[in-house]
Amino acid sequence: MQVTITSRRNGFVLLDRIGPVDENSIDGAVFLPARAPYFWTIEAMAQLGAMHARYMHSFDLHVFLLKINWLNFLSKEAEEGWYSLRAMLQATSDKASSYQVQMIAPSDQSFAQGQLCFAFQDYDHVFQEKQLKKHYKDLFACLRKNLNGVC
């Protein structure tokens, strides 16, 4: 049996923009339709945290979501509009980082918040540096200057 999951988004990049970024945090934005599935929220939060971890390591390491320590949805369903996101670095080691991540709804109310843990490792034969490093650097640059929501 083959299962296909589609977000109806180009390349499954849920982030539409990356705003200010520094050594402790990263801001982003995503446009969600009304009643967007909850997994889009989780994925957007994870993509933002992973982008910060990659940025902090100059895109020289493969980064992946290791664990959702906790996650709360504070609204029953998504309303259509622009959501702002913020991921704040809580702790880091040579193998992983923990982030407090928050998503704010268009109505300026907190929509979701959680703590996500990301691991990082050297690129290898499966996660190849030649493809992934350039891909994530280019995606980061596009999302930083993105004005029309297409990367």
Strand partners for 140: none
Does a structural domain hold residue 35? yes
Give residue 22's domain range: 15-136
CB contact at 8 A, 84 and 104: yes
Query: pLDDT exceeding 70 applies to what percent of the chain?
Result: 90
Task: Collect all residues with Cβ–Cβ distance below 8 Å to 134 and sequence separation of at least 6.
Answer: none
Does a structural domain hold residue 118? yes
Does a structural domain hold residue 29? yes
When divided into structural domains, the chain yields a total of: 1
> Which of 4, 1, 112, 137 has its CA nearest to residue 60?
137
Residue with the two structure tokens 């989780």: 42
At 58-108, the pLDDT tens digits run 999 999 999 999 999 998 889 999 999 999 999 999 999 999 999 999 998
Give the residue with greater pLDDT, 6 vs 112.
112
Does a structural domain hold residue 8? no
What is the DSSP-derived secondary structure letter of residue 15?
-
Q: Write down the pLDDT at residue 75.
A: 85
Starting at the edge strand found earlier in the chain, the sheet holding 110-121 runs 17-21, 25-32, 81-92, 96-104, 110-121, 62-73
Residue 112 sits in a domain whose CATH number is 3.10.129.10
Does a structural domain hold residue 146? no
> Which of 25, 29, 149 has its CA nearest to residue 87?
25
pLDDT at 25 over 60: yes
Does a structural domain hold residue 124? yes
Does a structural domain hold residue 129? yes
Does a structural domain hold residue 19? yes
